[in-house]
Amino acid sequence: KSVEFSDKAAEHERIAKYWEEKANTINLSMPESIDFYEHKLEKAKEYHEGLKSGKYPREHSYSLTYAKKAVNETQKNYELAKKLWGDLEKV
């Protein structure tokens, strides 16, 4: 019985840890995603411009490319979040 309860306790701890990690996750299925992606887009654009202007050092030859890709992906997510949840903001 002791081993059985120990295994059960370990499984419950694993599940609790999983949901604890998910508690701070924001994704497109949540209305809060509009604000989240808007903020993330601003930061991504600022970082991309900083790399272009020399404000931030380029860590490798593809830093600018990866920064632009991050801007594009975040822009897509932001637009999608606005399509999904934008009408709720007006209500």
Domain count, the chain: 1
Q: What is the mean pLDDT of residues 25-48?
A: 91
The residue to which tokens 């030859």 are assigned: 61
Domain-located, residue 43: yes
The phi, psi pair for 77, rounded to 5°, reads -65, -40
Angle CA 75–81–85, to nearest 5? 155
| Helices marked H in 1-91 | 2-22, 33-53, 63-90
Summary mean pLDDT of the chain: 89
Question: What percent of the chain has pLDDT above 90?
Answer: 55
Q: What is the mean pLDDT of residues 21-25?
A: 76
Domain, as residue range, for 65: 27-90
- What would the pLDDT profile of 39-68 be if each residue is shown by its tens digit? 999 999 999 999 999 999 999 999 999 999
In this prediction, residue 51 carries a pLDDT of 95
Domain-located, residue 62: yes
Domain-located, residue 11: no
Q: List C-alpha distances in Å: 37 to 8, 68, 77, 90.
A: 39, 15, 7, 18
Residue 90 has pLDDT above 60, yes or no: no
Domain-located, residue 77: yes
Distance, CA of 3 to CA of 46 (rounded, Å):
54
Residue 33 has pLDDT above 90, yes or no: no
pTM exceeding the 0.85 threshold for the entire prediction: no
Q: What is the mean pLDDT of residues 13-19?
A: 85
